[in-house]
Amino acid sequence: MSEKKRITRRDLFKLGFSAGAAMTLSGVPGATNLARAEEEKPSKMSDTTLPQVPRRVLGKTGETVPVLLMGGSMNFDSKFDPKLAEAYRFGVNYIDVADCYNNGQCEAKVGSFVAKADLRKNVWITSKSDQHDPKGLERTLHTGLDRFATDYFDMYYLHAVEDPSVINDDLKATVERLKKEGKFRFFGFSCHDGNVDELLQIAAKTPWIDSVMFRYNFAQYGNKALNDAIDACVKTNVGLIAMKTQRSEVSFQDSWKKFQQKGKWSKHQAVLKAVWADERISAAVSHMDTFEKLKQNIAAAVDQYELGRADVQALERYATATRHEACDGCDHICGPTVDAPVKIAATLRYLMYHDMYGEKDKARELFRRLPTGAQRLRGVDFRPANAACPFGVNVVAHMERAAKVLAG
């Protein structure tokens, strides 16, 4: 790897890392599993002289995972991805992949890295299926194992669950059989639509659900229904992983500028620190598609100090100033008011990918996968959706933009 891409202590100091946080792997509470793995299988890539990302227990799995997880919804190098190698040096040994990421190439690319680095026993791999019926899940699982060139995944999720009825006895029977066959160690699901709290409550009542990855960010901390659902999961020891933590605004590329940095942390760092401050959450998965993002997030993770008052107040002001610019995915509220088979929440999420993440091709491809009727945005009266949105999101303006940049 080029030395210019290596993250150094100097880099971390520049990005807010405090000297008092310079704990090595052996000094991080809960790091014994990875430490033991390193002792048993030395790797040239690991460097325990560097500060390591802290670890927490992931619910009923009993395993520790880093509080910062490597998201896989990006384009990795198919031969050997340097971002994955660099993340591993700082203890980020959990990689989140899926059958549908990077046009179906994600599992193979990450698998190539893991194989060449000889790290399969030292990394946690979670994959996901966008097929929610038992037969579809099993097909997707076997395809993913073949692509990754592995015998098992550590965790397997149903991807982007919205319909609670998919968590049923038929799925339970398939999951338990596949576990016995050693195809995955643990099972759960991910969710990010408007019924996250309902799905978390179901997970809390379902003994064979080990973990849930769900949308959680600084704008939701006062949501009573969501907090009650999180508490229910903690009570039954369901491992919780936060996703979509940045709460990117829909189609407002400059919205992040409304965050006025008063403390030591940038907006992106402060958001992660706020999530980690909730001890009910084991980890946060992050989209780290550049070395700069990786450095920023590692610096925030390894620093032991909590957000200061100035940071918290800045986040609160930012949340208030941008509340009307962020879609919470509650399609069940605004969708029925529109006389067309459109998918408002999904469309606005893809618009976010296009405008905020700069993933234009991915956004258009996902939009093209929607049913034909849902792609016909022009001529639809979205004013009733504006009136129905409890947060004042300007659905009309966003859907007009989506018609231009997504529908073409």
**What is the Cα–Cα distance from 140 to 160, expressed in whole angstroms?**
15
Structural domain contains residue 78: yes
> Sorting pLDDT into bands at 50, 70 and 90, what band is 162?
very high
312 shares its domain with 332: no
**In the chain, pLDDT over 90 holds for what percent of residues?**
60
> Sorting pLDDT into bands at 50, 70 and 90, what band is 34?
very low
190 shares its domain with 308: yes
Chain mean pLDDT for the chain: 84
- Check residue 3 and give its pLDDT: 40
> Sorting pLDDT into bands at 50, 70 and 90, what band is 406?
very high
Q: Report whether 212 contacts 199 (CB < 8 A).
A: yes
- Check residue 238 and give its pLDDT: 98
Tell me the pLDDT tens digit for each residue of 274-292: 899 999 999 999 999 999 9
- Check residue 181 and give its pLDDT: 98
- Check residue 110 and give its pLDDT: 97
- Check residue 366 and give its pLDDT: 87
DSSP line for 284-346:
EEE---SHHHHHHHHHHHH--PPPPHHHHHHHHHHHHHHGGG-----HHHHGGGSSS---HHH
* 164 secondary structure, DSSP code: G
Structural domain contains residue 4: no
Q: Locate tokens 């991080």: which residue? A: 28
Structural domain contains residue 164: yes
351 shares its domain with 289: no
Predicted confidence (pLDDT) at residue 155 exceeds the cutoff of 60: yes
288 shares its domain with 310: yes
Structural domain contains residue 3: no
308 shares its domain with 346: no
Q: How do 55-57 and 64-66 pair as beta strands?
A: antiparallel
Tell me the pLDDT tens digit for each residue of 128-149: 999 999 999 999 999 999 999 9
Q: Report whether 374 contacts 406 (CB < 8 A).
A: no
- Check residue 38 and give its pLDDT: 37
207 shares its domain with 114: yes
Structural domain contains residue 134: yes
Tally Cβ neighbours within 10 Å of residue 67: 26
> Sorting pLDDT into bands at 50, 70 and 90, what band is 32?
very low
Tell me the pLDDT tens digit for each residue of 72-89: 988 899 889 999 999 999
- Check residue 202 and give its pLDDT: 98
Q: Report whether 84 contacts 125 (CB < 8 A).
A: no
225 shares its domain with 134: yes
Predicted confidence (pLDDT) at residue 381 exceeds the cutoff of 70: yes
Predicted confidence (pLDDT) at residue 232 exceeds the cutoff of 70: yes
Tell me the pLDDT tens digit for each residue of 174-228: 999 999 999 999 999 999 888 999 999 999 999 999 999 999 987 777 789 999 9
CATH code of 36's domain: 3.20.20.100
Structural domain contains residue 321: no
Q: Report whether 56 contacts 29 (CB < 8 A).
A: no
Give me the mean pLDDT over the 113-142 stretch: 97
| Residue that finishes a domain, picked among 290, 316, 342 | 316
Nearest to 251 by CA among 74, 408, 394: 394
351 shares its domain with 272: no
**What is the Cα–Cα distance from 25 to 28, expressed in whole angstroms?**
5
- Check residue 37 and give its pLDDT: 34
| Residue that finishes a domain, picked among 258, 292, 316 | 316
Structural domain contains residue 2: no
What's this model's pTM, rounded to 2 decimal places?
A: 0.80
| Residue that finishes a domain, picked among 262, 285, 316 | 316
- Check residue 141 and give its pLDDT: 98
Q: Which domain holds residue 62?
A: 9-316
120 shares its domain with 71: yes
What is the Cα Rg of the chain in Å? 21
Total number of domains in the chain: 2
Tell me the pLDDT tens digit for each residue of 308-322: 777 777 777 777 777
Structural domain contains residue 246: yes
